[in-house]
Structure formats: structure tokens, C-alpha cells
Amino acid sequence: MAFLFDTDAISELLCLRPLPRYVEWLESVPREEQYTSAITVGELYKGAYRSPARERHLSNIEKRILPAL
């Protein structure tokens, strides 16, 4: 079964302390069944540019999120 992750689902992983149960569940989902949309990526960038921690968020998107897509 494939999963299309929205902005909230991806953002949770970028929190300083993501919910352990969510991380555990996500690790059980095969990578080839994990998807997101271009709209979600755009929303992540929009949130990063509005954040006081802009550089950290942009770095997370570029180094952690985009390579996983």
C-alpha cells in the first residue's frame, strides 16, 4: 500500500523531537511506498522562508527531504 505524505507528516520528522510512535511506524513503511507531492515540497519551502530558523529548515529540506524523494 502506498502513502502520500502531506506537509504535516513530513514536518513532524524535522522536529527536534519527532513523535517516537510516528517515527517507528514510518520506519516500517518501505521507502518505495512513500510519496509526497510538489505542492507539499512547495509548502515546506514556504514554511522555511517564513521561519526564524530559515537556514536550518532549508538545509533539512535540501539534505534530508529532497534526496529521499
Whether residue 44 is predicted with pLDDT greater than 90 in this model: the reply is yes
Total structural domains within the chain: 1
What is the model's pLDDT at position 68?
Answer: 84
Reduce the secondary structure of the chain to three states and give it as a string.
CCEEECHHHHHHHHCCCCCHHHHHHHHHCCHHHEEECHHHHHHHHHHHHHCCCHHHHHHHHHHHHHHHC
Q: What is the CATH number of the domain that holds 22?
A: 3.40.50.1010
CB contact at 8 A, 55 and 45: no
What is the model's pLDDT at position 56?
Answer: 94
The reported pTM is: 0.84
- Domain hosting 24: range is 3-68
Whether residue 39 is predicted with pLDDT greater than 90 in this model: the reply is yes
